[in-house]
Structure 1
Amino acid sequence: MSATQSGPQVSGSGSGSGSGGGNGDDGSKIRKFEAVIIVLLGMIAGILAGIGSRTLDHASWFEAISTGVVVGIGLPTFIIMIIRYIRNQS
């Protein structure tokens, strides 16, 4: 069991820029509670964007749903990219 645990630690300490880094490289990884908050924020923003598109632009249901999906996926992706960029600078 110790051989299995030492494998990721050796490869993780050698690769500093990979997403599968070791446990000591917590500064560049997104934590679970941050990821949950970001995903919930994306869902809320997507719903609000869809509702706003439907009511303000008088868009069809398909357009409103597609707008909400694009915002719901794009916003969390953008936030995660910004966080990872800032953490990799230090």
Structure 2
Amino acid sequence: MSAERVAMIRQRLESVLSLDSLEVIDESHLHIGHAGARDGRGHFRVRVVSNDFLGLPRLARHRKVYAAMGELMTTDIHALNIEALTADES
């Protein structure tokens, strides 16, 4: 299931952003026993580099990433740690 979720996250971001690089890490194993992990959803970290973030403040960048996740935030993802950068910032 973990590899499938990573693939879904990757596909969602690739479909809406012009990416210079993307790293998706499943950190669910670090949260075993955590109350939020009991429902089976995972904890993930993404490092997204895209010039689609040019001129956007951090909150707007994160909103773009969350929008790309859509319903995955309620079905598959419990927590998402986001690093959203432009190519010049990476």
Q: Would you call these one fold, judging by a TM-score over 0.5?
A: no
Q: Greater strand percent: which structure? A: 2
Larger Cα-atom Rg: 1
Q: Greater helix percent: which structure? A: 1
